[in-house]
Amino acid sequence: MKKLILSACFALAGLVGLTTTAHAEGFTLKGEPKIAMLYISPTNDGGWTQAFEEARQRLEKELDMKIQYVESVPESASAIRPAVERFIKRGTNIIIGTAFGYSDTFKSLSEDYPDVAFLNGSGTTNGPNLLSYYGRTYESQYLCGMAAGAASETGKLGFVAANPFGQVNWTINAYAMGAREMNPDATVTVVYTGAWNDPTKERSATKALIDQGADVIGQHVDTPTPQLVAQENGVYGTGHHRDFREFAPKATVCSSVWVWDRFLKNELEKIIAGNWVPEPHGALLSMEQGGTDIACCGPNIDKEEEAKIMAARDKLLKGELKVYAGPLKDQNGNVHAEAGEVVSDGDLWQMDWFVDGVITQQ
Amino acid sequence: MDLISSWLGNTPEFAVPFALAALGLIITEKSGVLALGAEGLMLVGAVCGIGAYLTFEQTAVALVMAMVAAGVVSLLFALMVLVMRINQVISGLVLVFFCQGLTTLTGTLMGWTNQPVPGLEAIALWPLSELPYVGRFFIQNVVVYLVPVIFLISVWALNRTTSGLRMRAVGENPQAADAAGIPVLGYRLAAIVIGSALIGLAGAFIAVLSTKLWISNMTAGRGWIAVALVIFARWSPWKALAGAILFGCIEALIPQLAASGIKLPQYFVFMAPYAITLGVMIWVAISKRDSSSQPGALGTPFIREERT
């Protein structure tokens, strides 16, 4: 009984909390803006963090202010909290995180420091002064799929992916849909490695795909290994995170890249302007809002194909093209969006189905 | 056909690091020192191999320097367990954490992360390489062919040379060995350094010859699998080699099955190597064969003249 009353009290308190935030003014900084970023890995990791570091350098120029950073902050409260609190003590009032594993600590920090604005890339928690953001990677990967479909001679594409969950599966489906835009018979065979950062497994997965006849290798893992293996074997590939032509200029035909500065510039300006109201379920960024883009096009894509890819990119940048627009059916014939509908964000995060042309063990 | 030949062709990439690391651990543990630091020493070998290659552009130099580096870092472990007689389990774990930090720091500061290296050319062992199905198993780089040779030399040294027998005596009964005039700590130090050099070579194989780049923590738990391999091989080098090949086969099979579109539950497949480790360990425990093969003084620090 006691428990019941307690939980009722909490529920009530929650309701009150909700209504007050709904009616309250947005978040406004108390002093001059001072920004700091927390990176999960070293700035020269060649992927995720390096993309943030490049965005930070562009932001410093565009906003004409210094942005501090600290690198290699692991995903544990005992590491995140002191780093953030040191920044806050020195007068920093905008903290930008870059990791899924920062979510809970950022939530509690945002409650402890209501005068500080928190942003967290690939996070899951939100609040009156906390906004998580992530990119709709399926848009840029759709374009990479188009490039892959164009570069492939056999129509057999391979894809090296980390773990089978929504965020990865949505890139795979989009990749296949993009490829079929260029070659209606294209197939995408997927190998999951079960790890984001295991070059040994990525290498053997890529080799296995090439042995099975794949001649373009897409990827949603963190290291450039699949591109290196593609180049060694004289086939093509598409990169993720950054422009992987840096590693495999003869192989990489297109890369999905992060352009965080496009989003962060807008969002930081909104915070600095005052009365900032973060989206209650976080910001899932389309290419129109910044977040992702492509670096295109590498070898084996002719002018005509390149024009087609760039036209699709333009439409995505203007918000005119929706990758997950209906009518959309999976391999088993289940309808996920009727004509005129778009698959909802909730369904995207839970995606466990595949479109025609995708070959997986799932 | 394609699947089998491609599968066997990729097996050594997984099997060789397990085999070399397990052999290194066996050599160290035969002297009575419990070594759990393989994961860390492999990282040292890996980062140093890549660093040496980027500096000197000689693969052989890179491999040798990786072995030297792992040997040097293991001196720290030797200091802890031989001189200060700190608990060997703790020392081994500390060594792993220390090496993880050290290698990440070194790789980052020196800018060695994600720098591709060319590795070694594969050599075809004609006429074996022309065989159907298994042919690709015999198209490997030279280090793969050296593995059986390294095993032969190690087994011969352990069983047939005076030094090897003395080292094992030190591991079985250090008091008796000491009474016979064998310098116990000297032999243990040598066993730690030689074993660690082999573990360093295993790490360098992963970085320089297999994946051909360095990223932080790239060994991804393979050092721990080597530790398990040693236990279920009951400290026998040949059984460890067989175990390494078995593991290599399983790890190499996983992407092959996915690439050929064979439907199997994904997470079950990821679990397979570990489930098989558990299974084999249980089997070894139940069958109790060679249960006396564990070095008698494994994990016990040596204090001269102390009654035990």
Note whether A164 and A58 are same-domain residues. no
The residue of chain A nearest to residue B111, with distances taken between CA atoms, is A44
The residue of chain A nearest to residue B211, with distances taken between CA atoms, is A200
Shortest alpha-carbon distance between residue A210 and chain B (Å): 9
**A15, part of any domain:** no
Residues 47-106 of A with CB under 8 A from B: 47, 72
**A206, part of any domain:** yes
Which residue in the set B111, B261, B269 is minimally distant from A189, CB to CB? B261
Note whether A108 and A156 are same-domain residues. no
Shortest alpha-carbon distance between residue B268 and chain A (Å): 11
Domain boundary among A135, A168, A194: A135
Q: Which chain A residues have a beta carbon less than 8 Å from that of B256?
A: 208, 211
pLDDT in tens, chain A (362 residues): 455 554 554 444 444 444 444 445 789 999 999 999 999 988 887 789 999 999 999 999 999 999 999 998 988 999 999 999 999 999 999 999 999 899 999 999 999 999 999 999 999 899 999 999 999 999 999 999 999 999 999 999 999 999 888 889 999 999 999 999 999 999 999 999 988 888 999 999 999 999 999 999 999 998 899 999 999 999 999 999 999 999 999 999 999 999 999 999 999 999 999 999 999 889 999 999 998 999 999 888 999 999 999 999 999 999 999 999 989 999 999 999 999 899 998 889 889 999 999 998 87
**A205, part of any domain:** yes
Q: Which chain B residues have a beta carbon less than 8 Å from that of A73?
A: none
Which residue in the set B6, B114, B206 is minimally distant from A208, CB to CB? B6
Note whether A164 and A232 are same-domain residues. yes
The number of C-beta contacts closer than 8 angstroms across A and B is 118
Q: Which of A75, A169, A204, A358 to mutate to test the interface with B (most CBs of B within 10 A)?
A: A204
Q: How much is the ipTM here?
A: 0.87
Residue B271 at interface with chain A, using a CB cutoff of 8 Å: no
Note whether A168 and A122 are same-domain residues. no
Note whether A43 and A178 are same-domain residues. no
Range of the domain at A83: 30-135
Domain boundary among A135, A156, A174: A135
Which residue in the set A190, A224, A228 is minimally distant from B258, CB to CB? A190
**A274, part of any domain:** no
Note whether A126 and A146 are same-domain residues. no
DSSP calls for B238-307: HHHHHHHHHHHHHHHHHHHHHHTT----HHHHHHHHHHHHHHHHHHHHHH-TTGGGS-TTTTPPP-TT--
pLDDT in tens, chain B (308 residues): 578 888 999 999 999 999 999 999 999 999 999 999 999 999 999 999 999 999 999 999 999 999 999 999 999 999 999 999 999 999 999 999 999 999 999 998 898 988 899 989 888 888 888 888 888 889 899 999 999 999 999 999 999 999 999 999 999 999 999 999 999 999 999 999 999 999 999 999 999 999 999 998 999 889 999 998 998 788 999 999 999 998 899 889 988 888 888 888 878 888 887 888 788 778 877 876 655 678 888 988 888 877 65
Domain count, chain A: 2
**A69, part of any domain:** yes
Residue A332 at interface with chain B, using a CB cutoff of 8 Å: no
Q: Which chain A residues have a beta carbon less than 8 Å from that of B6?
A: 207-208, 211-212
Q: Which chain B residues have a beta carbon less than 8 Å from that of A361?
A: 257-258, 261-266, 269
For the four alpha carbons of A239, A241, A243 and A248, in that order, the dihedral sign comes to negative
- The CATH number covering residue A59 comes to 3.40.50.2300
Q: Which chain B residues have a beta carbon less than 8 Å from that of A41?
A: 216
**A224, part of any domain:** yes
Predicted local confidence at residue A261, as pLDDT: 94
The residue of chain A nearest to residue B114, with distances taken between CA atoms, is A46
Q: Which chain B residues have a beta carbon less than 8 Å from that of A228?
A: 116, 212-213
Residues 215-254 of B with CB under 8 A from A: 215-218, 220, 222, 251-252
Predicted local confidence at residue A285, as pLDDT: 94
Domain boundary among A135, A154, A182: A135
Which residue in the set B10, B14, B212 is minimally distant from A228, CB to CB? B212
**A151, part of any domain:** yes
DSSP 8-state assignment for residue B81 = I
Domains of chain B, each with CATH number or no CATH: 2-293 (1.10.3470)
Predicted local confidence at residue B292, as pLDDT: 64
Note whether A129 and A176 are same-domain residues. no
Note whether A85 and A227 are same-domain residues. no
Residue B262 at interface with chain A, using a CB cutoff of 8 Å: yes
Cβ–Cβ below 8 Å for A224 and B256: no
Residue B210 at interface with chain A, using a CB cutoff of 8 Å: yes
Note whether A131 and A179 are same-domain residues. no
Q: pLDDT tens digit string along A115-153? A: 999 999 999 899 999 999 999 999 999 999 999 999 999
Note whether A203 and A329 are same-domain residues. yes
Cβ–Cβ below 8 Å for A200 and B206: yes
Predicted local confidence at residue B288, as pLDDT: 67
Predicted local confidence at residue A17, as pLDDT: 46
Note whether A323 and A177 are same-domain residues. yes
Predicted local confidence at residue B290, as pLDDT: 57
On the question of a cis peptide bond just before residue B127, with omega within 30 degrees of 0, the verdict is: yes
**A5, part of any domain:** no
Residue B263 at interface with chain A, using a CB cutoff of 8 Å: yes
Residue A352 at interface with chain B, using a CB cutoff of 8 Å: no
Predicted local confidence at residue A18, as pLDDT: 46
Note whether A336 and A201 are same-domain residues. yes
C-alpha–C-alpha distance, residues A239 and A258, integer Å: 11
